[in-house]
Amino acid sequence: MKIRTVEAIEVAAPAGEASSPWSSTVILVRVTTATGATGWGEAPTTLMTHPVRASVPEVARFYEGRELQAHAAAFREFERYSFYRARSMEATSALSAVDIACHDLLGRELGTPVATLLGGAIRDRVGAYANGWYSDCIEPTEFAARARAMVTAGFRALKFDPFGAEYRTLSPEGLADAVARVEAVREAVGDSVRLLIEYHGRFYPEAAVRAGRSLERFDPAFAEEPVLPELSDALRGFRRQVRTPVALGERLLTAADFESFLARGLVDILQPDLTNSGGFTYGREIAGVAAARGAPVAYHNAFGPVQTAATLQMDAVLPTFFLQESFEASWPAWKRSLVTGYAIERGEFRIPTGPGLGITVDEKAVERFRSEAMEPIGPEPPWVIAGTWARRASTETTTPGAAAPSGRLRRRSSGTARSSRRAR
């Protein structure tokens, strides 16, 4: 089976539709063999939609015309030729998507799930944490009402960013607002639900430490990217001063990156992104690093359904699996329509056992939402869950029990702090 074509396809939210949760664009990669068989991969966007899409033809030159069974040689040849690969998210993202699609194709050809190609599944389902559930939430009561709804739907772990528009520095008012939001969620869902705090890599070290120490009484399961990524050495100090475990990895691209962070004592929980860190080929290497260090792995998974399907195949074989990120419960309809073959129920994914990724891509839906658009910008960055920095003009709060919209978070007493949180 020779690989005939490697094609990047951008799909995006229909014109005029607010696309929260993030992201509003998805890059799919379709690999087609000379016999007409197809496999699918996915690459990330994050204000890089066009650069990543444009990188796919560079990778394609190494794959097109080769036998599918020789796709690993194509991967390694690109690795050798791509001078900036180790620091180029565009290059590794394109490579990841093609690698995922080739594994999908090979699994389909052999009639087995990708997990079998990776050594065999050791679990058939995985627990998930919800993300994206707090779009258009600013007031603590809004966060609380939405959190209760997610727990009612079966989730036992919730991730959210409580910091609003604070960036680099953290004002006393911004910190008080964040504490109020986290406290409201903790009170709404109780102690049995795990809370995961998303910092989005936005703070200087001093601000991150103040935030971490103020929030640790709510017993977060982890603090994700608490400091600016270019200041990652400061994570060592954060871990000394804050009891909450540190999670990161969506901006790391190679197994060597992950080993370096573990060796330097900068991270507790690894969060690789299969769509930018070398697909399944590097995924096996990163899993080996994690296993050797005993590091829990919680794959980053914030884009589209092909990414989720591929990530579930990795989850099936991970010896140190922790939790799986999921936006599915809050996706807009256009994104839901792209793929069938997996589902999340009561906070758990059942890992697909069909051949390849175990999914069917609806190519009519792909064509319907095909796009040349860039990600929209303003008033919030594209990495923000929409409506959490500022009210969207077209949005009215309808969540039962939520506060009425306001320009600023209403000040309130923080109440009595819980002092009996479990220590790390």
Half-sphere exposure of 412 (CA within 13 A, CB side): 17
3-class SS at 142? helix
Give pLDDT tens digits for 338-363.
999 999 999 999 999 999 999 999 99
- Residues with Cβ within 8 Å of 11's Cβ and at least 6 positions away in sequence, in order, are 25, 26, 28, 304, 334, 338, 366, 369, 370, 371
Alpha carbon distance 38, 355 (integer Å): 12
pLDDT of residue 91: 98
- Return the closest-CA partner of residue 323 out of 260, 363, 270: 270
> Is residue 268 within 8 Å of residue 242, measured between CB atoms?
no
Phi-psi region of 374 (alpha: psi -120 to 50; beta: other; left: phi over 0): beta
Whether 300 is catalytic:
yes
> Is residue 305 within 8 Å of residue 339, measured between CB atoms?
yes
- Give the total residue count for the chain: 424
3-class SS at 40? strand
Written as one string, the DSSP assignment of 304-325 is -HHHHHHHHHHHTT-TTB--EE
Torsion (CA) 406, 408, 412, 418 in degrees, nearest 10: 110
Domain map (residue ranges) of the chain: 3-113, 116-358
Using a 10 angstrom Cβ sphere, with 0-12 exposed, 13-18 middle and 19 or more buried, the burial of residue 393 is: exposed
Alpha carbon distance 228, 203 (integer Å): 5
pLDDT of residue 378: 77
Q: How many CB atoms lie within 10 A of CB 87?
A: 11
CA angle 170, 204, 408 (to 5 degrees): 20
Secondary structure letter of residue 242 according to DSSP: -
pLDDT of residue 379: 84
pLDDT of residue 376: 82
Whether 50 is catalytic:
no
Alpha carbon distance 339, 344 (integer Å): 13
- Report pTM: 0.93
Domain with residues 3-113, CATH architecture: 2-Layer Sandwich (3.30)
pLDDT of residue 304: 96
pLDDT of residue 46: 87
With residue 325 as reference, give the H or E element that holds it.
strand 324-326
pLDDT of residue 399: 37
Alpha helix positions (H), 64-111: 71-81, 89-110
Fold: same for 3-113 and 116-358: no
> Is residue 373 within 8 Å of residue 350, measured between CB atoms?
no
Secondary structure letter of residue 317 according to DSSP: T
Alpha carbon distance 314, 322 (integer Å): 12
Written as one string, the DSSP assignment of 352-398 is P-SSBTS-EE-HHHHHHTB--PPPP-SSS-TTSPTTSSS--TT----
> Is residue 133 within 8 Å of residue 70, measured between CB atoms?
no
Residues of the chain with pLDDT under 70: 18-22, 393-424
Beta-bridge mates of residue 125: 350
3-class SS at 18? coil
Is the domain covering 116-358 a CATH 3.20.20.120 domain?
yes
3-class SS at 7? strand
Alpha carbon distance 138, 380 (integer Å): 13
Alpha carbon distance 343, 213 (integer Å): 37
